[in-house]
């Protein structure tokens, strides 16, 4: 509990320190989510609702609903289709995606998860654009109550309407998962997030708070520990 208090203090002290920065290329955002997961044998399913605030956590960026189905092919591979409904102030989007996860382990202490994913974003104005991403997640079990993790990844997007073809998003940061009970986990993370608008990059500090409820954990293989940006 002592280590958890120190980590949480650092997570929320850092955003407070940079909150005073007043530039048009830095923002303080926050993501808050509830996720329910369950399944058995080689199949895992989850549903998530998430809210994202921007402009120093004062304006709604979006909220979304996402469903994910995972097929645990083996100890090392998972096939993961998903579907997300994005609700933004100015538009609505549907985003189907298909991912592959490759997992490997170091001395049964570290789980490395490599996410390779394709997605297409379709809005209510009949615009669509595609993207691919790669994200690396590193997970380390500290004890029966706590797992620390680190994520780093980027998304490459191409759009026809403005001939945009480049890395659009970059995110990296540490996190912890704390076991509240046999089925309830609380995830705290802090990300450095970069966005390419075509002319310059803008940056944000993003605390991410997620409650995870695991209905069933009777899987043939250990599922990958990761999340969708």
Q: How does pLDDT run across 60-85, given as a tens digit for each residue?
A: 999 999 999 999 999 999 999 999 99
Q: Supply the pLDDT for residue 19.
A: 45
Q: What is the mean pLDDT of residues 101-110?
A: 91
Q: How far apart are the first and last CA of the chain?
A: 28
User: Do residues 210 and 34 lie in contact, with contact meaning Cβ atoms separated by under 8 Å?
Assistant: yes
The C-alpha atoms of residue 171 and residue 150 are separated, in whole angstroms, by 11
Domains, in order of start, for the chain: 2-219 (2.40.160)
For the cut 80, the answer to whether the pLDDT of residue 138 exceeds it is: yes
Which residues neighbour 16 within 8 Å (Cβ) at sequence distance 6 or greater? none
From residue 44, give the alpha-carbon distance in Å to each of 71, 84, 97, 166. Answer: 7, 17, 16, 33
Q: What is the pTM of this model?
A: 0.88
pLDDT digits (tens, 9 = 90+) for 3-20: 444 444 454 445 445 444
């Amino acid at each position: 509990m002592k280590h958890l208090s120190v980590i949480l203090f650092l997570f929320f002290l850092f955003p407070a320190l940079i909150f005073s920065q007043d530039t048009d290329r830095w923002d303080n955002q926050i993501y808050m989510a509830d996720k329910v997961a369950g399944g058995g044998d080689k199949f895992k399913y989850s549903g998530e609702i998430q809210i994202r605030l921007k402009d120093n956590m004062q304006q709604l960026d979006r909220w979304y609903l996402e469903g994910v189905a995972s097929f645990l092919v083996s100890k090392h591979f998972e096939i993961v289709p998903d579907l997300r409904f994005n609700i933004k102030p100015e538009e609505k989007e549907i985003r189907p995606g298909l991912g592959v996860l490759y997992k490997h382990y170091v001395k049964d202490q570290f789980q490395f998860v490599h996410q390779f994913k394709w997605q297409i974003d379709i809005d209510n104005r009949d615009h669509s654009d595609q993207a691919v991403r790669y994200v690396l997640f590193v997970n380390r079990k500290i004890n029966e109550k706590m797992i620390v993790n680190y994520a780093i990844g980027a998304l490459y997007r191409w759009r026809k309407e403005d001939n945009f073809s480049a890395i659009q998003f970059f995110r990296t940061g540490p996190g912890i998962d704390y076991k509240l009970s046999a089925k309830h986990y609380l995830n705290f993370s802090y990300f450095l997030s970069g966005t390419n608008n075509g002319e310059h990059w803008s940056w944000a500090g993003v605390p991410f708070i997620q409650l995870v409820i695991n209905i069933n954990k009777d899987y043939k293989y250990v599922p990958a520990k990761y999340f969708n940006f």
